């Protein structure tokens, strides 16, 4: 064999090895998902979907995650823009702090939130005075989701703003735009793909939250908690169809939103 063909084989060998290793991890993700989806009969899935408890818990999960995402947009996008445009002492610290919810155990996150938003504590008391309680109530679900998922939005929006040439804002200013106009007419439109992508990630992460929500609000039960309580109380047979439905919903919504975000980023 010539050295060239040896080299060819060696290169292929690397490609084949990596494909094989890669296939293992793809199957590791795919098989459990597929098996869960297909192990319940369509009629059972339909019946489960008509179960009032299941339906209301799915709806609860979707809209609480949505509220958390909106709150994240209102407070997170300005922060992301600020971080992308300014250097200051302690910036690295702030950036690291924002990402901590991603790496900490979410049950611990729930307890940390309880310590601030519980009725015995200052912030919790203040909100209680205006009629908002965070324990065993919908606002509790929202803040738990917000806490663990907002880093995804902030990081993505920050990257998006970072890619917007600051000189575009400079030109906008010289053309007569106020800083607000420059932000809303130039920076925001140019970063909207990243902001949208980050929102999708944040919303999806909120949907799937379990630990932090469990600590603050086990009832009304969001869908992940419903799956868990059914498994604990009635066993696998009853938990399975609910899990199947959740996976189907997640796959459909996530694929749809991702392709939308991808198209926007390309446009």
Partner 1 sequence: MIEIRNLTVDLGSFLLRDVNLTVEKGEYFIILGPTGAGKTILLESIAGLYPIRSGQIWLEGREVTRLEPEKRGIGFVYQDYVLFPHLSVKDNLTFGLRQRRRPKEEVQRTAEWVGDLLGVNHLLERRPDTLSGGERQKVALARALSVSPQVLLLDEPLSALDPQTREGVQQELRRLHQRLQPTIIHVTHDFEEAIALGDRIAVLNEGRILQVGTPEEIFRQPNSEFVARFSLTRNIFAGDVRQGADESTLFAIDNTEFEVVTVLRGRLHASIRPEDILVSREPVVSSARNRLKGTIAAVADRGSTVNLTVSTPLDFVCLVTRRSFDEMDLQKGGEVYITFKASSVHVF
For the CB of residue 34, give the shortest distance to partner 1 in the complex, in Å. 40
Q: Is 41 in the site for partner 1 (CB under 8 A)?
A: no
Whose Cβ is closer to partner 1: residue 67's or residue 188's? 188
89 binds partner 1 (CB under 8 A): no
Nearer to partner 1, 173 or 258 (CB): 173
Who's near 231: CB < 8 A, 6+ residues apart?
Answer: 238, 239
Least distance (Å) between residue 252 CB and partner 1:
30
Decide whether 57 or 187 has the Cβ nearer to partner 1: 187
Q: How far apart are the first and last CA of the chain?
A: 49
Q: Give me 184's structure tokens.
A: 């809303």
Which tokens sit at 154? 């902030």
H helices of the chain, in order, are 3-39, 42-50, 52-85, 91-103, 106-117, 122-129, 138-162, 166-174, 179-182, 188-207, 211-216, 223-234, 236-266
Candidate list 190, 247, 250, 253; residue touching partner 1; CB under 8 A:
190
Spatial neighbors of 54 by CB under 8 A, at least 6 apart, are 48, 223, 226, 242, 245
Determine the size of the site formed for partner 1 (CB under 8 A).
17
What DSSP state is assigned to residue 184?
Answer: I
Please write down the long-range contacts of 168-177, taking CB distance under 8 Å and 24 or more positions apart.
Answer: none
Which of 105, 189, 219, 255 lies at the binding interface for partner 1 (CB under 8 A)?
Answer: 189
| Interface segment toward partner 1; rule CB under 8 A; list 38-46, 96-104, 180-188, 194-202 | 180-188
The yes or no reply on residue 88 touching partner 1 (CB under 8 A) is no
Nearer to partner 1, 11 or 178 (CB): 178
Residue from 36, 181, 218, 229 that binds partner 1 (CB under 8 A)?
Answer: 181
128/185 with CB nearer partner 1: 185
DSSP secondary structure string for all residues of 4-64: HHHHHHHHHHHHHHHHHHHHHHHHHHHHHHHHHHHHS-HHHHHHHHH-HHHHHHHHHHHHH
As measured in angstroms, the least distance from the Cβ of 189 to partner 1 is 5
Least Cβ distance, residue 89 to partner 1 (angstroms):
14
Radius of gyration of the chain (CA): 23
The residues in 137-176 that bind partner 1, with binding defined as CB under 8 A, are 165, 167-168, 170-176
Q: Are 40 and 241 in contact (CB under 8 A)?
A: yes
CA distance 98 to 151: 6
Selected binder of partner 1 within 186, 213, 221, 243 (CB under 8 A): 186
Point out which residues bind partner 1 (CB under 8 A). 165, 167-168, 170-178, 181, 185-186, 189-190
């Amino acid at each position: 064999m010539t050295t060239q063909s040896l080299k060819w084989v060696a290169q292929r060998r690397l490609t084949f090895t990596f494909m094989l290793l890669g296939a293992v991890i793809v199957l590791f993700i795919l098989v459990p998902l597929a098996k869960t989806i297909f192990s319940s009969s369509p009629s059972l899935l339909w019946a489960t979907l008509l179960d009032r408890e299941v339906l209301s818990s799915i709806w609860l999960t979707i809209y609480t995650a949505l509220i958390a995402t909106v709150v994240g947009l209102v407070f997170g996008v300005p922060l992301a823009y600020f971080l992308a445009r300014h250097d200051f002492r302690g910036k690295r610290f702030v950036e690291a702090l924002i990402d901590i919810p991603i790496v900490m155990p979410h049950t611990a996150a729930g307890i940390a939130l309880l310590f601030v938003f519980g009725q015995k504590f200052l912030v919790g008391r203040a909100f209680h005075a205006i009629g908002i309680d965070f324990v065993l109530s919908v606002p509790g679900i929202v803040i738990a989701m917000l806490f663990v998922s907002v880093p995804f939005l902030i990081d993505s929006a920050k990257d998006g703003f970072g890619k917007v040439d600051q000189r575009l804002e400079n030109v906008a200013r010289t053309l007569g735009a106020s800083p607000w106009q420059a932000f809303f007419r130039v920076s925001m439109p140019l970063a909207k793909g990243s902001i949208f992508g980050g929102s999708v990630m944040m919303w999806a992460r909120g949907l799937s939250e379990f630990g932090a929500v469990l600590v603050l609000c086990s009832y009304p039960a969001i869908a992940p908690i419903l799956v868990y309580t059914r498994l604990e109380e009635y066993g696998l047979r009853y938990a399975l169809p609910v899990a199947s439905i959740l996976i189907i919903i997640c796959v459909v919504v996530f694929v749809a939103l991702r392709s939308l975000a991808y198209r926007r980023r390309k446009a």
